Structure 1
């Protein structure tokens, strides 16, 4: 059994430092350190190396992290090319028509999404949530800081149980405030537009080449054929033309947060 979470806690206690202090020292979020210590996430190679350097533990954390990752549920084979694109692309663009993108989901929202299908056991839901949180940490906290652009249909802001909606919306606004992440919302007033055809993503990699990802019911499809990727890019441009600017999108998100507060006050 891997004792990495307990070991990180022990090392932190020996140094008498907080999770915030460790996070600041290795330039990650404190929530990420908390996730390591509660077994929800496993440090990726770069983060594990930074922790070893901070604690002076040689390659102990790196080896323990590698072992822990072997025990995780492996990503499906179809996803591997896209995962590589996400880990190396200079620009990543995501359009979501129904649910919030996995990279922007809180842990509670992700758990609700996986549980809602009725197809997974509690253990499978927990495993999938852990993988999603690990993917977020790997992609959003990349050292080379790629540019992220998310375009969301307004309906995605209203999906999810009320008990988790407010925290999810606040998280969305918080992530959107990062300098390399841009969040746009397509308002209801857009009516019928190109995004009604479905959810997809585009990664621009070295040399300007693009790779696409199309969402499917059973498994997503990675698209690399130039003419199809060009078509996806044209659809992206059409969607962007009806999306709100970032500041107006954030205002819309925060108005929905206030609506939740007002609803709670009415029930009190």
Structure 2
């Protein structure tokens, strides 16, 4: 039996270590990938990619695997090392990420881009590339963002509402085929019972969140925290009075938005306007 290396920040290649540990545990259990997927409620292909080091999945997946294998905290610790490797997730996002996977309700407003939980790999790659990432670091960030999307597909997935400025839908990707895929994905996600998508048209004018991306996280017990973000920094707001003020602003914006049904029609209309380009 292979000897386990110590789980520390000095472990060589944390991503590979996580992959090796996942395969070792599954083989010791005598399970196939299909059996593992059926037991935990995720597609078996996700676990196959994790064991090959192609993705690290999300923290909620690592926690579920810890519980399944009876290794409390081990796989989550390895996941955090892999996520932190090469600044994949900056320190200031860590508490937010923890709260995100604990939340029972998520409410989002997007000024100019889709939230990471709704992004396709193609969208995430172009957005992160525009921010200056490239090479292996870009690939790791895209994989990490894609892995986080699993939170919306779990059996106990939170209710998620996203309100999008029309700007989000008027800012296409350079690759028309990737943009089409992203809009199709957004329509499909909006049809899931735990996801609501709404659009705020240009015609409503200025409002309280015109330049502020926000994510509200309602936690078990009723407490709510808010993540407020610009393109270059983010802040976690947990003080109740400040959260309440932001909640009032969000409620006002929701009142200005198209209904979910009309929002879907608007997105489909945008999809029909995407030029068809031959695949290369």
TM-score (ref. length: structure 2): 0.76
Map of 1:132 onto structure 2: 145
Deviation string 1:103-158 (CA, Å, 9 cap, x unpaired) is 1101111010010123x232221121122122222x32344322111111121123
Q: Is 2:166 the partner of 1:149?
A: no
1:24–1:178 CA distance, 2 compared to 1 (3 A) = farther
Over aligned residue pairs, what C-alpha RMSD do you find? Answer: 3.3
Q: Structure 1 length normalisation: TM-score?
A: 0.79
> What CA distance in whole angstroms lies between the structure 2 residues aligned with 1:264 and 1:71?
38
Gaps of 5+ in 2: 1-12
Greater CA drift, 157-166 or 221-230: 157-166
Alignment of 1:1-268 (within 5 A): 2=16, 23-24=37-38, 26-29=40-43, 32-33=46-47, 35-36=49-50, 39=53, 40-42=55-57, 44-48=61-65, 67=78, 69-73=80-84, 75-118=89-132, 120-137=133-150, 139-159=151-171, 160-161=173-174, 162-260=176-274, 263-264=275-276
Cα distance change, pair 123–245 in 1 and its aligned pair in 2 (3 A)? same
Q: Is the 8 Å Cα contact of residues 165 and 199 (structure 2) preserved in structure 1?
A: yes
Q: Is the contact made by 2:209 and 2:249 (CA closer than 8 Å) also made in structure 1?
A: yes
> What CA deviation, in whole Å up to 9, does each residue of 1:168-193 have, x standing for no partner?
01111111111111111112322323
* Contact 1:4–1:65 (Cα < 8 Å) also in 2: no
Distance apart, 1:195 and its partner CA: 2.7
Q: What is the alpha-carbon distance in structure 1 between the residues aligned to residue 116 and residue 141 of structure 2?
A: 11
The answer to whether the 8 A contact 2:33-2:47 is kept is: no
